[in-house]
Amino acid sequence: MPRSKKTAIIEALFEKRWQGTKRPLTNPVVTLTQVEAAIRAHNKANPKQKLSTKNPANFFKDFVRKKKSANDNWPASVLKRSFSGKQVTGKGVCFEFVRMPPGQSEPFPAPAIRPRANVPIHRIQSASMPLASRRLGRRDEAWLIQVLSRLHVIETHLSLHSPRPYIQVDLLQTNVKLSGAEIDALFLALEKMSAVSETEPQTREVIVVCEAKGLSDDVLVDQIVSQVRAAFRMKALHQDIVLPMAAKAIGPSRIHITQFEPVNRVSAEEISSLKVESEAIYELVPSVPGVGK
């Protein structure tokens, strides 16, 4: 039985759009205003099970944060009609109902981004981190990104485990809030190219977007895809290649880094999935409080 108050709200939003088996939904996109109105209606009908209306932007984001919980709490009536949902941000939109492909049994299939059996393990020093900052270690993603930045974990991975020759990597910004996505860390990498003539460029600039997840949250491919598209829409960035990456805490002071294949600007709007290009597990020595705990 669903344990979330959001189950009934999502079901009510779907029923308003349902026109019958052979007809499309009236409008699969659900706005923030519609979510807030649905929450108010739910609260009025269920005064003992009220849900806050203060932050509708997080309504679906928090719902799908954990795959198991999202699958357990997705309305059975919506699943029976082969509809799932995906997070959409920007322009006052919260999420969208999407038809599930044939053969899919769960609304949110288990993520494929897990360490493989033979993933390399790399020990990396953390003694250079100030003792004061280690005492304030937290479990949130902002702290994980700070640790990655201080210890140059992304730079280390692209130097040691990437199949592509990156010769320089610089952190541009953390916690980048954009219309359509939120990027935890943004880097600029310089990739060495195999030029066939002296007139061709020897290097190219690549934008690296990095998604960070704590121990209890899943890395969601659709979120990273949204980050790639959002990066290309940034007016200050003119590079034609974006390299998606993910960093997930998988245990005490253990971080799984995943590097995906680069995405070209011309194909960014068409992609729906990402292919893993390299991965490694980084063990922080000595241990860093908050990471993977």
pLDDT, position 197: 61
Q: What is the residue range of 144's domain?
A: 121-285
| Residues contacting residue 283 through CB under 8 Å, at least 6 positions apart | 121, 122, 123, 124, 253, 254
CA distance 198 to 269: 33
Q: Are 111 and 272 in contact (CB under 8 A)?
A: no
Q: Do 84 and 126 sit in the same domain of this protein?
A: no
pLDDT, position 158: 97
| Residues contacting residue 121 through CB under 8 Å, at least 6 positions apart | 280, 281, 282, 283
**Residue 131, domain member (yes or no):** yes
Residue 191 to residues 149, 158, 188, 238, 259, Cα–Cα distance (Å): 20, 10, 10, 16, 15
Q: Are 291 and 147 in contact (CB under 8 A)?
A: yes
Q: Do 84 and 225 sit in the same domain of this protein?
A: no
| Residues contacting residue 153 through CB under 8 Å, at least 6 positions apart | 124, 147, 247, 255, 257, 282
pLDDT, position 261: 96
**Residue 24, domain member (yes or no):** yes
What DSSP character marks residue 102? T
Q: Do 155 and 259 sit in the same domain of this protein?
A: yes
Q: Do 126 and 262 sit in the same domain of this protein?
A: yes
pLDDT, position 199: 64
**Residue 116, domain member (yes or no):** no
**Residue 145, domain member (yes or no):** yes
Q: Do 23 and 166 sit in the same domain of this protein?
A: no
**Residue 113, domain member (yes or no):** no
Q: Do 159 and 281 sit in the same domain of this protein?
A: yes
Collapsing DSSP to helix, strand or coil, 142 comes out as helix
pLDDT, position 19: 93
**Residue 225, domain member (yes or no):** yes
Low-confidence ranges of the chain (pLDDT < 50): none
What DSSP character marks residue 281? E
CA distance 245 to 224: 8
Q: Do 134 and 266 sit in the same domain of this protein?
A: yes
Q: Do 177 and 72 sit in the same domain of this protein?
A: no
Q: Do 47 and 82 sit in the same domain of this protein?
A: yes
The predicted-structure confidence for 46-71, as pLDDT tens digits, reads as follows: 988 889 988 898 999 899 888 889 99
Q: Do 159 and 234 sit in the same domain of this protein?
A: yes
**Residue 111, domain member (yes or no):** no
Number of domains in the chain: 2
Q: Do 83 and 148 sit in the same domain of this protein?
A: no
**Residue 106, domain member (yes or no):** no
pTM of the model: 0.72
Q: Are 114 and 257 in contact (CB under 8 A)?
A: no
Q: Do 19 and 72 sit in the same domain of this protein?
A: yes
Secondary structure E strands in 93-223: 93-99, 121-125, 166-178, 181-192, 203-213
